[in-house]
Amino acid sequence: MISIVNGTSTLYFIAYNKDLLNEAINFYTNILGLTLHSTLDKENITYLTNDDNQLVVKLELNSKNSLNKDQIKEKKSYIKSKLNIIDWRSLDSSAVIKVDNLVNLIDNLSSFNYSLQITPNELYPNEVYTIDPLGNIIGFTACKEPLTLIPPLQKSYNKNQGLATTTVMSQSTSEISNNADLKGKHRRNIGVMTSGGDAPGMNAAVRAVVRAAIFRGCKAYAIKEGYEGLVKGGSNFIKQMKWQDVRGFLSEGGTNIGTARCMEFKQREGRLKACKNLIDAGIDGLIVCGGDGSLTGADLFRSEWPSLIKELKDSKQINEETYEKFKNLYICGMVGSIDNDMATTDSTIGCYSALDRICRAIDYIDATANSHSRAFIVEVMGRHCGWLGLMAGIATSADYILIPEKPSSSKDWQDQMCNIVDKHRKRGKRKTIVIVSEGAITSDLKPISSKMVRDVLVDRLGLDTRITTLGHVQRGGTAVAFDRILATLQGVEAVKAVLELTPNIPSPLIAIDENKIVRKPLVEAVKITKSVAEAIEEKDFDKAMSLRDPEFKEHLSNFMAMNSACHEHPKLPQEKRKKIAIINIGAPAGGMNSAVYAMATYCMSQGHTPYSIHNGFSGLARHESVKSINWIDIECWNSVGGSEIGTNRSTPEQTDIGMIAHYFEKYQFDGLIIVGGFEAFVSLNQLEQSRSMYPAFRIPMVLIPATISNNVPGTDYSLGSDTCLNSLMEYCDIIKQSASATRGRAFVIEVQGGNSGYIATFASLISGAQASYVPEEGIHLEQLELDINSLRESFAIEQGMTKAGKLIIKSTNASKVLSPQVLADIIDEESNYEFDTKTAIPGHVQQGGLPSPIDRTRADRFAIKAVQFIEDNIDKIDKYRYQLDFPQDKKEIINTAAVLGVKSSHLRFTSIRQLYDFETELGRRMPKKVFWNSIRDTADLLVGRTRITSNEVM
């Protein structure tokens, strides 16, 4: 049924000439299916009606009271310029027509390239407005009372002016929203496929691609079973994906769209079939998530595309029009591989999930190994890359690792392994862990099997030795938090990259550099990756190592240094050996013990004397709690949560800074490493500021950020934040499962974080929460109203579906008044109890149990960097140690007290003076600028949330 919403039955429009009149007739007959009942009568009027005459469109030909073609063009241009800036209804009077199927109408309008303003958004449309050929704004709705619906535009909130319509949205949101009017090459149909071995996080990548593509005005397609589905084609293998089709993908392992090896695609005939299948499906953009083989095939496919499509045209399988439309294919790659063997990217989707499985298994094995004083050989995956073996060795403090990048002769590896294991045993270690990559080889390319390693330990050392082959357990299970984040952000970036590609731009690979998503040339990355395997085959192991990422070489060097702490002669001469202390300040965070372990073992390997200060500055001032660190006492600390040396929040000035200086002088510390959160940041500032009064503090000092709140200025990452997100992820998955089982239920989950919205933002991203509230934005009632209406719509759409549970994440300090229970009560009341709302508060569960592999390995890396910082800076300040006129403001001196952090794609030291004086908001205990605002946009995008943005959000 078609009718006019305001109750009238007739729409009256005027056309300047017959050409415009005919265009208007075509518009209303084609779009609304109206019937032309008469041509121009004696009054120059034409009538169009629907079947039951509830809608009459009256068109008059009159050049005096109407706009001509140029005026209409100018008016249309002006209206289009205001798309997603202001509500079109404020520009001109408009009629609203009720239709039965609004979604089909939107598709119809889109196919004719009409500009559309859709409310509240494209995902849940209630109204759509367009411009007819006569320049009139015409609205369509499926509802009886459209004026009561949520307005479509994002809003800004200014504390001084109240709620107002925004004129400028964030860049990412405006880019996405403006694509509702995309035409031609930019409004692409995007296919996504997973290929090669499955990896945890692939489902998160598919979800991100599908929803980001839909949100950008594109159609999304899933190509099932990898390249096999591409070759076979048809609706069974190439399926258009809707928004709801990827519900629940975040928490599922493997790949729901399947993956398979395909020999046929390796032949040109197979790629010709794939070309035809993509054209038949209307796909001109392809995103491939797989390993180097899969991405090599993707780039070959794009390079051959011009000749393939020409062959289809020449053989009359496609016509000239189709050829012109699809003559270019745009491809983007994402790396899904547990081996982390792709060059030019720090991490691949799935690698940290696999590492987590390995570390958990070894943590479990440790207990039985220690109980029986056994040796365990743990075989991990990695045919051509030893990343898993190396990182597992670091994270679990393994005695020895065997990886393909650093082989030695059969005799050398046996002698070296037995020498290390024997010395560890003689120092009191009861267990032995040796990690063997499946691709481990000798220098003459002979494989080293787990059985060979076991035989050596049994025959030469007489150890009770067992073998554990983890196998495909490493691939299984849901993705860890990092892989969900990585896959999601890369999926969104891949869609953006495909839309921005031109025929002259090489296919990009979406990579991560330190903490930043970047684009790298796909061909170059694959070429370097293959060169590593080729160098190993040629026995050029130095070249193979040089082709690995710098971080890989750094981790290997760190492992060797830490592993030599108790059995090798120190590297430094006696006069260069120093006394270095480490202290934990603030709340416990995953990775604190790993930092102490790495600092101490690296110091021992260099010849320095490591000291631990127990129970923070108050423990030092009150109890002189300083102890030198013994290797055997800390040998298992790398995989222990909490803080074994104790921690508290007291700063030096809150305790007794004079007494602290006294003990620093008594023990003659040459350097200090502080591990902790914002209290540690303040402590470093106090110590640096006190250098003029206390010569004991005239030493290099460095802060390693460690706090689940991730609110330390100078870094985008703090130790403990990954462990926290993993704990929250598991908690939210369980809560969401409960909500899904009880149909029509939402949970309000309150998370920690102080004044930092980091935890709430990323927890929302990895759990697929419907909304998140952070201290930086607060909770505005207008936003709460929008979110409640969104929840109602979501539950209505998903009625009867599985996996329909909803989460709302609230940071503790987002609102002191709106507690989780108050929020739940408001939502219940405002939703008319159409669904029920419960609360869940994880509390200190967020600090986690065992630290995650990321926090372990980064703690080791940071701690060793911190010791090297002290080594590099000791001479710069030591010469001023007892000068009466201490040059505190000298830049060389200022830089000896610094924060070690990850900033974007760089690992850097930043002086405490720069950070404290210019980059910190002390009252809120926060950096002035935070990096996660764009992450909030992405999290909202992927659940279809309309967010009121604040002009005052930093």
The response to whether 519 counts as a known ligand-binding position is no
Question: Between helices 853-878 and 550-563, what is the axis angle to 10°?
Answer: 80
Which tokens sit at 565? Answer: 């702490």
pLDDT value, residue 38: 66
Q: How does residue 800 score in pLDDT terms, banded at 50, 70 and 90?
A: low
Q: Return the amino acid letter for 470.
A: L
DSSP 11-31: EEEEESSHHHHHHHHHHHHHH
Lowest mean pLDDT among 179-183, 580-584, 590-594, 911-915: 179-183
Find the mean pLDDT for residues 30-57.
77
- Distance separating alpha carbons of residues 498 and 203, to the nearest angstrom: 19
Please name the residue that has the structure tokens 């350097």. Answer: 671
Kindly give the interhelix angle for 481-500 and 933-941, rounded to the nearest 10 degrees: 80
Annotated ligand binding at 753? The verdict is: yes
For residues 72 and 21, give the distance between their C-alpha atoms in angstroms, rounded to a whole number: 13
382 among annotated binding-site residues: yes
Average pLDDT over residues 708-717: 96
743, 838 in Cβ contact below 8 A? no
pLDDT for 6 beyond 60: no
Q: Mean pLDDT score of the chain, rounded to an integer?
A: 88
Residue 623 assigned ligand-binding role: no
Distance CA 868, CA 589 (A): 23
438 has binding-site annotation = yes
What average pLDDT does the segment 630-635 reach? 92
* CA 438 from centre of chain: 29
Ordered by where they begin, the domains of the chain are 3-165 (3.10.180.10), 188-347+480-526 (3.40.50.450), 352-474 (3.40.50.460), 569-719+851-918 (3.40.50.450), 724-848+935-950 (3.40.50.460)
Q: Rg of the chain over CA atoms, in angstroms?
A: 32
Q: Annotation-wise, does 158 bind a ligand?
A: no
pLDDT digits (tens, 9 = 90+) for 209-240: 999 999 988 999 999 999 999 999 998 999 99
For Cα atoms 499, 505, 510, give the angle at the middle one, nearest 5 degrees.
Answer: 65
Mean pLDDT across 13-27: 88
What number is the average pLDDT over the span 607-631?
Answer: 96
What is the per-residue pLDDT for 175?
A: 34
Which pLDDT band, with edges at 50, 70 and 90, does 3 fall under?
low
- Non-local (6+) Cβ contacts of 26 within 8 A are 133
By percentage, how much of the chain surpasses pLDDT 70?
92
More confident residue, 884 or 647: 647
Flag whether 292 is marked binding.
yes
709 belongs to an annotated ligand binding site: yes
Tokens encoding 278: 């993509």
Query: From CA 579, how far away is CA 610, in angstroms rounded?
Result: 6
HSE of 819, CA atoms in CB hemisphere, 13 A: 4
Q: Which of 472, 436, 470 is nearest to 455 (CA)?
A: 436
- Please give the full DSSP string across 214-244, using - where no structure is assigned: HHTT-EEEEETTHHHHHHH-STTTEEEE-GG
Q: Is 843 annotated as a binding residue?
A: no
Structure confidence at residue 4 (pLDDT): 62
Q: How far apart are CA 114 and CA 108, in angstroms?
A: 9
Q: How many other β-carbons are positioned within 10 Å of the β-carbon of residue 444?
A: 9
Per-residue pLDDT of 312-321, as tens digits, reads 999 999 999 9
89 labelled ligand-binding: no
The answer to whether the annotation marks 337 as part of a ligand binding site is: yes
Neighbour-count burial of 568, counting CB atoms closer than 10 A to its CB (0-12 exposed, 13-18 middle, 19+ buried): middle
> Quick one: pLDDT at residue 2?
57
> Is 847 among the annotated ligand-binding positions?
yes
Predicted pLDDT at 146: 42
Residue 317 labeled ligand binder: no
Task: Residue 748: name the closest of 815, 829, 808, 826 by CA.
Answer: 808
Q: What CA–CA distance (Å, rounded) separates 662 from 658?
A: 6
Which of helix, strand or coil describes residue 456?
A: helix
All residues at 6 or more sequence positions from 177 whose CB lies less than 8 Å from its CB, including other chains: 84, 169
| Residue 472 marked ligand-binding | yes
Write out the two tokens for 798.
Answer: 């998903």
> In the predicted model, what is the mean pLDDT of residues 631-653?
94
Residue identified by tokens 């990690």 is 435
C-alpha of 931 from chain center: 12
Q: pLDDT, tens digit, for every residue of 839-879? A: 999 999 998 889 999 999 999 999 999 999 999 999 999 99
Reported as a single tens digit per residue, the pLDDT across 372-423 is 999 999 999 998 899 999 999 999 999 999 999 989 888 899 999 999 999 9
More confident site: 709 or 99: 709
pTM equals: 0.82
Q: How far apart are CA 920 and CA 929, in angstroms?
A: 8
State yes or no: 294 annotated in a binding site: yes
pLDDT over 90 for what percent of the chain?
Answer: 66
User: Per the annotation, does 665 bind a ligand?
Assistant: no
Residue reference for tokens 């290797």: 631
**Per-residue confidence (pLDDT) for residue 177, from 0 to 100:** 36
Q: Report whether 19 belongs to an annotated binding site.
A: no
Burial level of 262, CB count in 10 A (0-12/13-18/19+)? Answer: buried
Higher-confidence position of 483 and 61: 483
Report yes or no: 196 and 291 within 8 Å, Cβ to Cβ.
yes
- Helix (H, G, I), strand (E, B), or coil: what is residue 952? coil
738 is in an annotated binding site: no
* Residue (of 725, 651, 733) closest to 685 by Cα position: 651
197 is in an annotated binding site: yes
State the Cα–Cα distance between residues 654 and 644, nearest whole angstrom.
Answer: 23
Q: Which two tokens stand for residue 79?
A: 């209206």
Asked if pLDDT for residue 167 goes beyond 70, the answer is: no
2 annotated as a binding-site residue: no
Which residues are tagged catalytic? 339
- Judge contact between 919 and 904, C-beta under 8 A: no
Using DSSP's 3-state secondary structure scheme, residue 150 falls into coil
In the predicted model, is pLDDT for residue 148 greater than 60?
Answer: no
Cβ neighbours for 367, distance < 8 A, ≥ 6 positions apart: none
Q: Which of 383, 405, 394, 374 is nearest to 435 (CA)?
A: 394
pLDDT of residue 5: 57
